Amino acid sequence: MHITKKQNIIISNPETRDFLADAYYTETDEKLPLVIFVHGYKGYKDWGAWNLMAEKFAEAGFFFVKFNFSHNGTTVEDPHNFADLEAFGNNNYSKELSDLGVVIDYFVNDPKVDDQKIILIGHSRGGGISIVKTFEDERINGLITLASVDTLERFPKDEALENWKEKGVYYVLNGRTKQEMPHYYQFYEDFAKDEHRFDVERAAEMAKAHFLIIHGTNDESVSVKNAEHLHILNPFSELFLIEKANHTFGAKEPWEEQELPKDLNKAVEKSIEFIKEKM
């Protein structure tokens, strides 16, 4: 089966800046459900095994899109590295929701896409963003979270927050690249001024889409309790736990094998089955 791969499509968002997206699909006369993958914190579209994941969704009959948030630290010229730490430091949830909206608008108009079937798959922080977006945008009728957070209020507290305000920046070490990644205080200000909008719990309760929650029981970054909480908030959702799976479902960067890691493969197969059953 031949998969068409359109990589590094330049998407322009006048509210943020240009960024890149990939589309994977098989050539057919039928219109295909649009599946958009939303990466998480310190993530990007080409990380780890995401390309293999894209191929598997395309083979299953979906128009699969993954993209880089405009301010995730990568650039149009260098999508594989955090080449722009200034942009990373100036990222915030408003920008991510704006970028995701632009991605939906761009691909929903593709003649190969069935605009009645739009599914978001969000990993980690991208899960929280996807939940908020699904509540805000009625076109989205499927939502799948992978190792998602249950809140976007993940900031320093009390004295550490005061220090951040005073200094204007705090740094997080990227364990893989050894870069000191900046976070400017604007990130917190953006959240605080629109806290109601970024309320993942409220969005999870109110979202009308078919909702699948996937999480590993050995997630070292986002506790499995987040998944259980989301499921309680939205009792119509389906909870699928993968025993002993970690935060990235066995994937790492770089991923040099030709097959998906076992746990990520389970997550992808479950997602495909869920979409086909519900849509």
pLDDT tens digits, one per residue of 110-137: 999 999 999 999 999 999 999 999 999 9
How high is the pLDDT of residue 225?
Answer: 98
Asked whether residue 165 is domain-assigned, the answer is no
Three-class HEC string of the chain: CCEEEEEEEEECCCCCCCEEEEEEEECCCCCEEEEEEECCCCCCCCCCCHHHHHHHHHHCCCEEEEECCCCCCCCCCCCCCCCCHHHHHCCCHHHHHHHHHHHHHHHHCCCCEEEEEEEEEEECHHHHHHHHHHHHCCCCCEEEEECCCCCCCCCCCHHHHHHHHHHCEEEEECCCCCCEEEEECHHHHHHHHCCCCCCHHHHHHHCCCEEEEEEECCCCCCCHHHHHHHHHHCCCCEEEEECCCCCCCCCCCCCCCCCCCHHHHHHHHHHHHHHHHHC
Asked whether residue 182 is domain-assigned, the answer is no
pLDDT tens digits, one per residue of 156-202: 999 999 999 999 999 999 999 999 999 999 999 999 999 999 999 99
Asked whether residue 207 is domain-assigned, the answer is yes
Asked whether residue 139 is domain-assigned, the answer is yes
- Do residues 161 and 154 lie in contact, with contact meaning Cβ atoms separated by under 8 Å? no
Asked whether residue 181 is domain-assigned, the answer is no
Q: Which residues contact 195 (CB under 8 A, 6 or more apart)?
A: 153
pLDDT band at 1; cut points 50, 70, 90: confident
pLDDT tens digits, one per residue of 19-70: 999 999 999 999 999 999 999 999 999 999 999 999 999 999 999 999 999 9
Q: Mean pLDDT across the chain, nearest whole number?
A: 98
Domain that includes residue 90, residue range: 3-153+197-278
Residues β-bridged to residue 241: 215
Asked whether residue 174 is domain-assigned, the answer is no
Asked whether residue 48 is domain-assigned, the answer is yes
Q: Please give the average per-residue pLDDT across 59-88, as a whole number.
A: 98
pLDDT tens digits, one per residue of 222-271: 999 999 999 999 999 999 999 999 999 999 999 999 999 999 999 999 99
Q: What is the largest CA-CA distance in the chain?
A: 59
pLDDT tens digits, one per residue of 155-169: 999 999 999 999 999
Number of domains in the chain: 1
Asked whether residue 175 is domain-assigned, the answer is no
Specify the CATH number for the domain of residue 129. Answer: 3.40.50.1820
